[in-house]
Amino acid sequence: MATDLTSPSFQQTLARPAVVSGRGLFHGIEAKVRLLPAEENTGIVFRRTDLKWRPEVRAHVDHVSAAARRTILESSNGAVVETVEHLMAALAGLRIDNCVVEINAIEVPAVDGSCLPFCDAILEAGINQQTAQRSILVIEEPQCVNDRANAQWIEAIPSMNGIPTVDYQLDYGPTAPFSPQSFAVQLTPEQFLNEIAAARTFVLVEEVEALQARGFGRHLTGKDLVVFNTDGTVVDNKLRWADEPVRHKILDCIGDLALCGRSFSGHVVASRSGHKLNHVMAKTLSTIEQGTPMLSRAA
């Protein structure tokens, strides 16, 4: 069946396999990802094809392993897949419910630092609507998680029109190379593709030096992601939007919240949150039984 990007009612998968290759952001290891069509109610499952027994890990917050600056999935059977958040955002943004992600290395390719190449590969392969209904979590009661020590919080509140929305406020403080930014987007596939999918990973130049001193990202140059100098200029690159950083934070948020295992209908407002707090909200959403909303909880 042809792709119907406007219909959120039924589950969707890819029409045929899609392939994306490239080096991982942190480890720099060349990897090939194959996005395979999957049966209804499969969800998103990663399979490490380079390991004996080809172990799998489901893309769910219950399998998130603690790590700085990225999202890592790990299962007890030895399947570890790092930096899944941008691929997860592409799948969630295009409303792919079911997909087996075969990967032959530990880390998902960084591509251009955004998730647009994943979206392009998925759209090129085509999207098939399936017959099972999607499971959509309707946010009926406000949910709030926060990290007071770092002045971060995320709130999920009911949506007036049923369309999921993510609203993000970014503020790196008075010494940051860019001013505070805020952006909001309705999570339709069209809006996701037009406003969010191409927003790239960004770092501050001093963060690059610290990461490289720890052995991460030594292969990276200013062409591979957005590196901000302390004066707000960008190293060897150009911004795609003046507010590209806040758009990328929304991309990360979408990818991380998808780990709750369901689509949601609600309005998410996030302030300064990163992967760690995003995972706390994903966990909160994952534990809501529809019709009996859980109480809000703090991080």
Q: What are 102's strand-pairing partners? A: 34, 47
Per CB under 5 A, contacts with Zn ion among 143-202 are 201
Residue closer to Zn ion (CB basis): 137 or 254: 254
| Closest distance to Zn ion from the beta carbon of 248 (Å) | 6
CB of 86 to Zn ion, least distance (A): 6
Judged by CB, which is closer to Zn ion: 18, or 25? 25
63 given a catalytic annotation: no
Give least dist CB 255 to Zn ion, A: 7
How many residues touch Zn ion (CB under 5 A)? 2
Q: Using CB under 5 A, which of 25, 252, 264, 265 touches Zn ion?
A: 252
Nearer to Zn ion, 82 or 252 (CB): 252
The residue at minimum Cβ distance from Zn ion is 252
Per this entry, what is the length of the chain? 299
> Could you tell me which stretch among 8-16, 182-190, 236-244, 249-257 binds Zn ion (CB under 5 A)?
249-257
Residues within window 40-79 making contact with Zn ion, judged by CB under 5 A? none
Q: What minimum distance in Å lies between the beta carbon of 199 and Zn ion?
A: 9
Q: Which of 60, 248, 267, 275 is catalytic?
A: 275
Per-position DSSP letters for the chain, written without gaps between them: ----TT--SEEEEESS-EEEEEEBTTT--EEEEEEEE--TT--EEEEETTSTT--EEESSGGGEE--SSS-EEE-TTS-EEE--HHHHHHHHHTT--BEEEEESSSB-B-TTSSSHHHHHHHHHH-EEEEEEEP-EEE--S-EEEEEGGGTEEEEEE--SSS--EEEEEE---TTSSS--EEEEEE--HHHIIIIITTPPPEEEHHHHHHHHHTTSSTT--TTTSEEE-TTS-BTT---SSTTHHHHHHHHHHHHHHGGGSSEEESEEEEES--HHHHHHHHHHHHTPBTTBPPPP---
Decide whether 201 or 263 has the Cβ nearer to Zn ion: 201
For Zn ion, the closer CB: 60 or 275: 275
Residue pair 204/228 in contact by the 8 Å Cβ criterion = yes
Dihedrals phi, psi of 47, to nearest 5 degrees: -130, 120
Site string for Zn ion, 191-210 (x = CB under 5 A): ----------x---------
Q: How far is the CB of 247 from Zn ion (least distance, A)?
A: 11
The region of 36-44, 73-81, 141-149, 251-259 touching Zn ion under the rule CB under 5 A is 251-259
The answer for residues whose C-beta is within 8 angstroms of residue 52's C-beta and 6 or more apart is none
**Which is nearer to Zn ion, 127 or 268 (by Cβ)?**
268
- Residue 41: CB minimum distance to Zn ion, A: 28
244 part of the interface to Zn ion, by CB under 5 A: no
Chain positions contacting Zn ion, by CB under 5 A: 201, 252
Residues annotated as catalytic (active site), given as ranges: 275
